[in-house]
Structure 1
């Protein structure tokens, strides 16, 4: 959309930015939670940064806020602009929240497999959901809808890595290091994240270099995703299939994914992500989504490797969102059976890791 210049638009944009910033000012930082799996004598500490405590319940709240500020400051969003996004759910929930705050129409283009609970949260925030059968068409359909309405396609997959200030300004990396300052291993050996847009890994990877930390960045990726295939082969055009773990994994390598800032990638079977999600609930009482399970699987593997090497240190990963929005899917035994996902064999691996601090070869 070409914004009409003039003082009215400028006043509206100023007021909109002030509302977004006021929302940030009302929100406390998310908690950093130690996960006590084994005695402290093992020398390796594991932490979860609980992003489910954001107003919209997920890590994507940070991204949505940054994308709205980016669009407002670039002149792409003005009074009355229809906001359109391609999303698997959580980003759309957060963007619907900010769109309603600014009095703007919002349309989410999502795969038809998106959980019913996520669709309900978007609609509750005043957004409209446009569901597509072929997940690979969400980009084109979102662009088409934005053009048809004279609106703005947010395009999280392109703009995620540039909308966030990776040098600081209370981004997630800066927050992690501030909260780790008084721990016995204040500089993490590893930070573990998944990749949906690639924006979080880009922000953290850049920040680690900018601040000259020795921390390594590991990206975990679900079955069939293009990110892992691309990183391991060096082929930026590598393709995969749509992920069954909502929020992470993509059938193509997104523009916001920066492989050069990633030190290691771990491929995680879908059923292993479910097992780790269940393991977290059993051992901490916290009900998280499946992408948190993917993170935890990778973090536990790295922790066991550190113990095996006789090294001490800390590992930080993310609790991406809460489990309530997955009650009818990943937390449903009937749904898992229908999807052909059996977490039991992977649950045995996790129990063994927790009891012995060793990872099976």
Structure 2
């Protein structure tokens, strides 16, 4: 079978990566007051504000988890596109790149933002370094193993959630004004503990998403015309049921999420990525097909998608300066913070085309 690689293949992935960046920034900023003990979002503020509650509910129902899940999938998809060469030298280059990403994630998590995602992606990338050379049958078997591991983890978390444990003292909020040194030590300790816990218990989920992305990339799912009828049928069948599931899930938990109930927010944090995956499986094909019909959307979004690493890390620096106790400790409120996140992403959308084919320093360094 001839490998079909139309010119817009990478542009589609870049456009999706640009779209995924928006929910990541919005959730990170709006959820900042919940750190370090809660998340991914904070209760709406000011309390009693109808607009804050509406925006918060929207984020819980249709935004939280969508960005990090899509980026994990695209991480695997991009690996499939870039791993046409399987020589030892090319493997060494990819391993070196993952190690650099891991180092960057550790610095980012310890010094700037405890919710770093680069560490997890780098560890998954190192574990899956040789997976691109596996057959599709082998990848399918590995995907099913990861599904089984996720089911086991769900069972473990259900059991742990039923165990009665004495509540400990809440941690100092990351927004409480302290010295820079105290804040950095506080942030780093929580980042390292949370990362270790996730690597021990939560790694199968991003690995599953990356494996599915790797398989999709091998099939050229977003670029080969033969997949379009199937993508369209799947999207039409599952998009609105998936939207309804996410809305019902968030709405059932909303009273506790709105009030910051620890029990409810922990339930949301444990399970919210699973209805997210169903929604993305239908929404992403719909977006890809829409961009095929309206290529101007592709031209607008793709330039931003080539600079997501710099934009992601810069957004963390801004959140540190604006919202953290080592910065201004600004209690901006839910609506204003969400608007600022939209403005930041929109500014990147406007400025990215002016860079043309040039890479920003971080992207250049990582690709070497």
Name the TM-score class by shorter chain.
under 0.3
- TM-score by length of structure 2 reads 0.25
More strand by share: 1
TM-score if structure 1 supplies the norm length?
0.25
Higher relative contact order (CA 8 A, sep 6+): 2
